[in-house]
Structure 1
C-alpha cells in the first residue's frame, strides 16, 4: 500500500477504498475467521505505521523481507537422480538446491554457483561438473528436454550474476556506487527533515486545536458569567426595591408606634374622661397595637427576605470575581504558551536547516584486490526481521493476534512445514549453512543416495 498509494491518510483512505485491491491470496484469507473488512482495517493500521517512508524505500523494505522467505526467487523442476528417486531441483540466485518431493521449503543438499565449473545436458540427462576435480559429476534426469533447456538458461544467467556480484568493483563502479550512496543519504536527510517538519506542523496544528477548544470553553464560561451577572443585577434591583419597601415599612411602623404612645399617654393623662370616651380610646389603642404588631411582623419578614437577597448578591459577586480571575489567568497562559510554541517551532526549523547544510562530508573506502575471491556472503547473513528488533516484535505480536482467528483445518502442508521450521528456529540462511557443510564430493554422494 505504501508503494502504490504513498502515505496513509485517514481523510482520504476511507473504509472500502481497498476493495478493488488484491490484498492477500485467497488461500491465506480462507485460513482465518476474518472478513474482508476486518483484513482491510488491520492492513490500514499496518499501513499507517509506514508514514513518511517514500515509495522506493518501501519497496526496498518489502524486498528485504521477501528475499528471506524460503521459496523466494526459486524455480522448481521435477528431476530424478541415478537411483530414480523423484526430487525437486531448485534454481535461484545463490545456487542449486535439492529438495525432497514432499518438502519444497527446506533443501537437503546445496551447491553454490562458485563451486560449479561446467553445465551441460544431453536429451533428458543434465550434467554439472564441479570445480573440485576429485568430486563426481552432479547428474540428474528431467522428464522432458525443454525442461533441461530452461534449467540451462537459468543456470547460465544466475551463475553469471552471482560471479559478477562477488568480483571486486572497478574504480568507476565504486565511484558510481559512492555517488549513488551520497544521493541516497541526501534524499534520506531530506526525507528526515521533511518528516520532522511535518511532525512539528502536526504538533502545532494540534496545539492550535487545543487553543481553539480552550478559547471556546473560555467563551462559554464568559457567556455563563454574563448570564450570572444579569441574574445578579436583577437580584440587586429586587434587593434595592425590597430595601426601599423595608425603609418605608419601618417609617410607617415608627409613625404608628408614636401614635400608639400618644394615645397611651393621652389615656393615662385624661383622668376625668367619661367611661364611654375611655372605652373608645382603649379600643382605639388596641386597634393601633394590632396594626403595629402586624406591621412589625411584616417588617421582620421583609428584613429576612432582604438579608437573603443580600447574601445571594454577595455570592454572585464572589463567583463573578473568581470566574473573572480564572479567565484572565487562562487568557494570559494561552497567550504565553502560543508565543513560546511558535518561538520554539521557529528555532527548531532554523536549527534543522542549518544542520542539514553543514553535513557535507562523507567517508569513502575503496577496496582493490588483485586476487579474485568469491565469498559466500549468504552464509553469514541473517534475516532482515532478525536485524530489525522493532519489526521482529511487531511480527511476533501480529502472529499471536492472527493465531487466535486461524482455522486449523485450512492449513496446507507447507503451512505446517513452515510452522515446524519456525518452532525449530530454522530460517533460510541457517539451512544454507547446514546443507553446504562439508566438501563438494560428500554433498554429491549425499544427493546420489537420496
Structure 2
C-alpha cells in the first residue's frame, strides 16, 4: 500500500467572543496563538493590538490569559466535546492612562466601552448609583442615537441592561422612575454620535476607583491578607475590605527588578527613582535563587506571597506589559502610532465634515417637512373652510326658505297691521273730535270760572262792607256802654247826695238794675242780621274755591311738558393713575470677537491654544457633570435603602464626604518615601 507523500494536517474549530460579536475560525491544530490573535485583529480592523489578549476559563473556571508565543493547544484550554468549538475570549488586557488621549481607533474605544460596561453591569467594577445613571444615559445615546419622543416611548429601554442589580435593589424606585432619570439626561446628549457617546462613557468610567485595576489576593510577611492591584501607572496594595483606596503605591518608574520563587514575589525599587529597564526573572530553584534571596534583607524590597504559584506568572506578565506601555507612553510615538493618529485625525475631520453635511441635510429636510406640514395644515384649513362654506351655504338655503315663509307671514301680518292702522286712524279721528269737544267744554268751563271769580270778588267786597258796618256798630255799642257807665256813676252820685227814703231809692235801683242786664244781653237787630250774612258769604266762598280746585285738577293741562327735568350728571372724571411706560430694555450684546491667530504665529503656539481651549472645555464639562451627579444624588438620597448598601457604598460615601477621589487617594498613597511605604506595608 503506497504511503501519501504529504500527511494531512488536522484542523480545529474555534469560536472567539469579542463582546461585540462572535467570530468563528478553522485553523490548524499546530497553530500558534499569535496567528489566531492576528487573524482576529485583521477581521475586526484593529491596529491597537497591544491592549488586547486572548483568554479562556480552565477546568477550574479560573480566568487565564493565553501566551501568544506558544501554540494554542499547549494551553490548558478545555477540549471541546461532541464537535463543539474551542471557546476563547478576546478582551482588553491592559488599560491606558487616558482613554481620550491614547485610544486612537474607533473600534478600540468601542471594545473598551463594551468591556467596561460589562464589568459594571456584572458588578466586577464598582460604580456609584449616580454615576451609573449618567453612564446609562451615554450608553442609550450610543445605542439609539438622538432622543425622539415619538420613537422612544416609555419602556423602550431595559433597566437591567443599563444599571447594576446592586443599584436597582438599593433604592425604592420602579423601572419607570429609573427610566425617567436616565431619559432626562439622555435628552441632553442630543447630537453626539455613537463614537462620541462611547468616548464620554469611557472618560467618566476611567475616574472610577476600580477601573483598569487587576486584583490579586496576597499576604505580607506577617501573613495579613491584602489585595495587590496592578494598573497602568503603578502597582498598589489594598486592605482586604477596601479595594477602592490603596494604602501604598509604587509607580512603574520607581521599580527596577522583580522576580518570584514559588509563591514568593519580590519587587526591587530603583533608588534613583529614574525610569530604568525593568528586569523580570524567575528563580527555578532554591539554589539558584539563594544568592539573590539576600534581597530580603534589603528594606526597600517589596515582598508578598500568593496562595498559588501559578498566580505569580500572571502577575509578572501583567507587570511586564503595564511597565512596557508606561515607558512607551513617555517616549516619542513610533511611526505606526503617528500614522494611526494622522489617519484618525483625517478620519475625524472627514466625519465632522460628513456630520456637518448630514446636519445641513437634516436641517433642510426638517425645513422641508415643516413646510410640508405647513402646507398640509393650510390645505386642511382650506378644506375645513370649504366644508364650512358648504355647510353655511346649505344653512343659507334653509334660512332662505325659512325667511320666505317668514316673509309670507310678515305680509299677512302687515295686512293685519294695515287694517289695524286704519282702524286706529279712525279711532284717532274720533278721539280728536272728542278732544275738540272737550276743549270747547273746557273753554266754556273757563268762562264759567271767570264768572264765578267775578261773583266771588263781589261777595268779598260785600263781605268787607258788612265787616266795616259791623265795626261801626261795635263802636256805637261801646259808646253806648260807656254812656251807660257814665249814667250809673251819675246816679250813684245822685243817690249819695239825696235824702230820700230808703224804700224809694231801693225800688228805683231795682228797676234800673233789672233793665240794665236785659239791654246788655239782648243783641241789636242789625247785629244779628250782619252775622248771618257774613256766615253765608264765607260758605259760598268755600264752595266756589273747591269748585275752582276741582276744575283746575281736571285733565285740561295736556300741553304741559311731561318730560323730566334734565339732570346734569356730575363730572365723574376722577383722577387716574398716570401710565408710565417702562424704558426699553437694551438687549444688545456687545460681542468682542477673539482676535484671530496671526499669520506669524508658529505651529506650537496654535497647538498650545488648542490644548488650552480643550482643557477649559473639559473642565467646564467636568464641572457640569459633577453638578448633575450631585443633583441626582440629592434627588434619590431619600429613596435609598440603607440596609442594602454594600461595603463599597459606605467607603465611597465616606471618601466623597471628605472630598477624596481616585487620583487624590493614589497621590496620597505615593507621598512617603519608598522605604517608608515598604515599612507601612510590612506593618499591616
TM-score tier (shorter): 0.5 to 0.7
Q: CA deviation at 1:156?
A: 0.6
Q: Contact 2:209 / 2:245 at 8 angstroms: preserved in 1?
A: yes
Name the residue aligned to 1:205. Answer: 369
TM-aligned CA distance change 1:126 to 1:25, over 3 Å: same
Deviations 1:226-278 (A, max 9, x none): 5445445544554455445544654576578779999xx9xxxxxxxxxxxxx
Name the residue aligned to 1:415. Answer: 649
Q: Contact 1:97 / 1:109 at 8 angstroms: preserved in 2?
A: yes
Gap runs ≥5 in structure 1: 266-362, 367-380
Helix, strand or coil at the partner of 2:170: coil
Q: Contact 2:245 / 2:666 at 8 angstroms: preserved in 1?
A: no
Name which of 664, 668, 672 aligns with 1:430: 664
Matched, 1:107 2:226: no
Q: Contact 2:238 / 2:246 at 8 angstroms: preserved in 1?
A: yes
- Which of structures 1 and 2 has the bigger CA Rg? 2
Q: Contact 1:6 / 1:55 at 8 angstroms: preserved in 2?
A: yes
Name which of 414, 433, 439 aligns with 2:673: 439
In the TM superposition, what are the counterparts of 1:19-30 in structure 2 within 5 Å? 19=158, 22-30=161-169
Helix, strand or coil at the partner of 2:633: helix
Name the residue aligned to 2:327. Answer: 163
Matched, 1:57 2:221: no
Helix, strand or coil at the partner of 1:141: strand
Name the residue aligned to 1:147. Answer: 311
Deviations 1:171-209 (A, max 9, x none): 564344233223213213422442454355346535644
Q: CA deviation at 1:96?
A: 0.6
Name the residue aligned to 1:89. Answer: 228
State how far apart, in whole Å, the 1-side matches of 2:151 and 2:167 are. 28
Name the residue aligned to 1:293. Answer: none
State how far apart, in whole Å, the 1-side matches of 2:650 and 2:308 are. 31
Helix, strand or coil at the partner of 1:132: coil
Q: CA deviation at 1:167?
A: 1.0
Helix, strand or coil at the partner of 1:30: helix
Deviations 1:74-124 (A, max 9, x none): 111222233433322111111111112221111121111111111111222
Deviations 1:332-355 (A, max 9, x none): xxxxxxxxxxxxxxxxxxxxxxxx
Q: Contact 1:82 / 1:139 at 8 angstroms: preserved in 2?
A: yes
Name the residue aligned to 1:388. Answer: 622
Helix, strand or coil at the partner of 2:228: strand
Matched, 1:405 2:639: yes
Q: Contact 2:159 / 2:178 at 8 angstroms: preserved in 1?
A: no
Gap runs ≥5 in structure 2: 1-139, 274-298, 430-601, 606-614
Name which of 100, 110, 119 aligns with 2:258: 119
Name the residue aligned to 2:268. Answer: 129
Q: Contact 1:92 / 1:158 at 8 angstroms: preserved in 2?
A: yes
Name the residue aligned to 1:371. Answer: none
Q: CA deviation at 1:386?
A: 7.3
Name the residue aligned to 1:71. Answer: 210
Deviates more, 1:245-254 or 1:430-439: 245-254
Please state which structure has a larger fraction of its residues in helix. Answer: 1
In the TM superposition, what are the counterparts of 1:8-27 in structure 2 within 5 Å? 10=149, 16=155, 18-19=157-158, 22-27=161-166
State how far apart, in whole Å, the 2-side matches of 1:209 and 1:393 are. 40
State how far apart, in whole Å, the 2-side matches of 1:105 and 1:260 are. 113
Q: CA deviation at 1:11?
A: 5.2
Name the residue aligned to 1:182. Answer: 346
State how far apart, in whole Å, the 1-side matches of 2:311 and 2:620 are. 37
TM-aligned CA distance change 1:172 to 1:149, over 3 Å: closer
State how far apart, in whole Å, the 2-side matches of 1:179 and 1:35 are. 46
Q: CA deviation at 1:415?
A: 0.5
TM-aligned CA distance change 1:185 to 1:429, over 3 Å: farther
Q: CA deviation at 1:149?
A: 1.7
State how far apart, in whole Å, the 1-side matches of 2:187 and 2:653 are. 28
Helix, strand or coil at the partner of 1:160: helix
Q: CA deviation at 1:417?
A: 0.6
Q: Contact 2:159 / 2:179 at 8 angstroms: preserved in 1?
A: no
Q: Contact 2:159 / 2:175 at 8 angstroms: preserved in 1?
A: no
Helix, strand or coil at the partner of 1:159: helix
RMSD, matched Cα: 3.9
State how far apart, in whole Å, the 2-side matches of 1:244 and 1:121 are. 122
Matched, 1:191 2:330: no
Q: CA deviation at 1:137?
A: 1.6
TM-aligned CA distance change 1:106 to 1:235, over 3 Å: same
State how far apart, in whole Å, the 1-side matches of 2:419 and 2:664 are. 115
Q: Contact 2:655 / 2:661 at 8 angstroms: preserved in 1?
A: yes
State how far apart, in whole Å, the 1-side matches of 2:425 and 2:167 are. 110
Name the residue aligned to 2:122. Answer: none
Using the size of structure 1 for normalisation, the TM-score is 0.63
TM-aligned CA distance change 1:170 to 1:365, over 3 Å: farther
Q: CA deviation at 1:9?
A: 5.2
State how far apart, in whole Å, the 2-side matches of 1:118 and 1:208 are. 73
Deviates more, 1:24-33 or 1:397-406: 397-406
Q: CA deviation at 1:133?
A: 5.3
In the TM superposition, what are the counterparts of 1:208-247 in structure 2 within 5 Å? 208-209=372-373, 212-213=376-377, 216-217=380-381, 219-220=383-384, 223-224=387-388, 226-228=390-392, 230-232=394-396, 234-243=398-407, 245-247=409-411
